[in-house]
Each structure stands twice: as C-alpha cells, then as structure tokens.
Amino acid sequence: MIRRVSGEQWLAMGIIVIGLVMAWQISDISVDAGYAGVGPRFFPSLVVTGLIVAGGALLIQRRHRNGPDTIIEEGANDSDEVEAEEAANHDADWRMFAIVSGSLLCNMALIGFIGFTLAGTLLCFGVCRGLETRRPWLDLVLSFLLALGLFHLFKTLGLNLPALIAGVL
C-alpha cells in the first residue's frame, strides 16, 4: 500500500527547504560587513541550523508515529471521510494565535520606546498567556529575567539594543 505524504511531512520538508535556501543565501553576506564582536553570518547560521534540525526532527517524528492518518479503520474505505473527521478534531486555536501575534506586534512597536528588556518581557509573557499557563506571576518574573539575561548577553557580544535606562536595562 502506498501511503500519502501527510501535512506534517510536507511542513517538515518545507522547513528543511527554507533552511537550505537560507544557507545558500548566507554565502552572499560579506564577512567584512560586521560591526560587532561576532561575524555577520553567525546568527543567520544559527537560524539555518535550527530550521534544518527542527525540520528533520519533525520529519523523523512523523515517520515513526502512528497517528490517526496512518491507521486504517475497518470499514473506512473512503479516505475523504477520514480526512474530514481528522480535520474536525484538529481545529486551530485562534484565540491563542491572536494573543501570541499581538504580543509579537506589540514587541516590534514598543521596543524603541520602552527598551529591549521590557518589550521582550511583554513578548515572552504574552506567549505564556497565549499558551494558558497556570502561574502568571511566575511567568512575568521569568519573562523579565529571560529578557534581561538576553539583553546582557547581546551587550557582551557587542550588539547594541535599545535600553529603557541608558546602560542599565
């Protein structure tokens, strides 16, 4: 029996292709264009590596998982019925999508006004709210600590980020 490629497998292959195209494009970045302690190809290379690894992991995970579309039910000869039932069981959570997207847009809009640390805190906390975590105060504190740590990490690498108070946060 020939199995059809699932949506997750198409997504995984798409992620891998995007990563490979980005890797090809990184070679066009001039090494002399860097102004920070790290080269200009460093962060794009991290993103490319993450994309290719994540796509490969998703592809491998999907091949070895016996999901609902790999099990053939008795009496189910029409694959359209199975696909329709599967689609009904996996509706998108638009509320979560709206909260996370709004948090990202707020981060982009506010980072110049309130600084990287507070904008990053709002972004991380918004993602936690979108994922409906159970401890909002802990999420807020950990979001702030993560954003503050990233700010100082980038500062150590020689990258200038907008600060709320010059040189502090």
List, for residues 17-67, the tens digit of each pLDDT value.
999 999 999 888 877 755 656 777 888 899 999 999 999 998 888 766 655
| pTM tops 0.85 | no
Query: Which of 37-41, 73-77, 111-115, 124-128 has the lowest average pLDDT?
Result: 73-77
What is the spatial distance between Cα 163 and Cα 145, in angstroms, rounded to a whole number?
Answer: 15
Q: Between these two residues, 97 and 39, which has the higher pLDDT value?
A: 97
Determine the pLDDT at residue 9.
82
Is 161 within the bounds of a domain? no
Quote the domain boundaries for residue 132.
94-156
Q: What confidence tier does 72 reach under pLDDT thresholds 50, 70, 90?
A: very low
DSSP 165: S
Tokens 């504190």 identify what position? 141
- Percent of the chain whose predicted confidence (pLDDT) is above 90: 42
Measured CA to CA, the distance from residue 106 to residue 123 in angstroms comes to 8
For 30, residues 6+ apart whose C-beta sits below 8 A from its C-beta are 40
What pLDDT does residue 130 have? Answer: 92
Same domain, 66 and 109: no
- Assess if residue 148 is contained within a domain: yes
Instruction: Spell out the alpha helix ranges (H) of 6-93.
Output: 7-26, 42-64, 79-89
Mean pLDDT over the full length of the chain: 80
**Judgement on whether residues 143 and 98 belong to the same structural domain of the protein:** yes
| Same domain, residue pair 135 and 100 | yes
CA dihedral 21, 22, 26, 29 (to 10 degrees): 110
At 31 the pLDDT is 76
Name all contacts of 29-37 with Cβ < 8 Å and 24+ positions apart: 36/157, 36/158, 36/159, 37/157, 37/158, 37/159
Given a cut of 80, is residue 169 above it in pLDDT? no
Q: Which pLDDT score, from 0 to 100, does residue 64 have? A: 64
**98 and 67 in a common domain:** no
Task: Using the 3D structure, point to which of 40, 60, 89 is the last residue of a domain.
Answer: 89
Local structure of residue 134 (DSSP, 8 states)? S
The answer as to whether 14 is a domain residue is: yes
Total count of domains within the chain: 2
Q: Are residues 66 and 102 in the same domain?
A: no
Query: Do 144 and 99 have their domain in common?
Result: yes
Give the pLDDT band of residue 144 (cuts 50, 70, 90). Answer: very high
Chosen domain end from 61, 89, 117: 89
Take residue 29 and report the two structure tokens written for it: 């970045």
Q: Of 89, 122, 141, which closes a domain?
A: 89
Select from 94, 155, 97, 150 the least CA-distant residue to 119.
150
